[in-house]
């Protein structure tokens, strides 16, 4: 019976550690994607981090792990962005609730069906909602920019993929890269395979 309890405890600890690790990876991706944004010199509060770790460790849903990663990323950039109360609120939500409330909070007042009624999202201050609105607006601008250049980017990808594929079909080049730069050859072949899947 004791061994069974120990196994359950170990399995639970491993699951929590895996969940936290996944959320940390999402936080790292988010920080890397916005590397140009300033990051505070002040460290994240240890008590705040312990609460975050407990909440992130409890979720196995990938969308919620990504949400917790973004929360940590934002808190790392600007400590104090999310209060402990907000963390407690977020920890009670399912992935669908979190998505719906985040979408509501990030939508401009003028874009709501009932734009004359002020929006209220439990656990978020008006300042946090205003920040989310600004981030959503910037995201929409980025999306429009990507949408405008998508066709050209795909065309360039197809041309580059075709050129590299033909280049690697040359047995002399393939042999040279395999003997002298095998890691580069493997990376190039992997990238070509991914590019061919996309096109």
Q: What is the pLDDT of residue 53?
A: 92
Say how far apart CA 79 and CA 74 lie, in whole Å: 8
Q: What is the pLDDT of residue 95?
A: 63
Helix 62-77 vs helix 2-33: crossing angle, to nearest 10: 60
Per-residue pLDDT tens digits for 31-51: 888 777 788 888 889 999 999
Q: What is the pLDDT of residue 50?
A: 92
Q: Name the stretches of the chain with pLDDT < 50.
A: none
Q: What is the pLDDT of residue 81?
A: 82
Q: What is the pLDDT of residue 9?
A: 61
Residues in the chain: 199
> With contact defined as beta carbons under 8 Å apart, do 169 and 180 qualify?
no
Q: Which pTM value belongs to this model?
A: 0.48
Measure the CA angle with vertex 110, ends 107 and 111; round to 5°: 50
As a 3-state breakdown, the chain gives helix, strand, coil percent values, each rounded to 5, of 75, 0, 25
- Picking from 99, 111, 113, the residue whose alpha carbon sits closest to that of residue 70 is 99
């Amino acid at each position: 019976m004791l061994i069974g309890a120990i196994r359950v405890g170990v399995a639970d600890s491993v699951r929590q550690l895996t969940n936290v690790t996944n959320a940390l990876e999402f936080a790292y991706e988010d920080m890397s994607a916005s590397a140009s944004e300033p990051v505070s010199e002040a460290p994240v509060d240890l008590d705040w981090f312990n609460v975050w770790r407990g909440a992130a460790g409890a979720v196995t849903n990938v969308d919620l792990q990504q949400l917790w990663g973004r929360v940590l990323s934002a808190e790392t950039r600007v400590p104090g962005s999310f209060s402990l109360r907000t963390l407690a609120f977020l920890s009670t939500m399912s992935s669908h609730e979190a998505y719906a409330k985040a979408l509501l909070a990030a939508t401009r007042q003028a874009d709501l069906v009932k734009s004359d009624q002020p929006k209220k999202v439990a656990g978020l201050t008006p300042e946090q909602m205003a920040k989310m609105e600004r981030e959503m607006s910037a995201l929409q601008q980025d999306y429009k920019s990507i949408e405008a250049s998508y066709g050209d980017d795909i065309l360039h990808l197809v041309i580059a993929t075709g050129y590299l594929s033909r280049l690697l079909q040359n047995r002399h080049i393939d042999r040279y890269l395999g003997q002298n730069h095998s890691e580069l050859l493997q990376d190039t072949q992997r990238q070509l395979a991914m590019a061919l899947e996309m096109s």
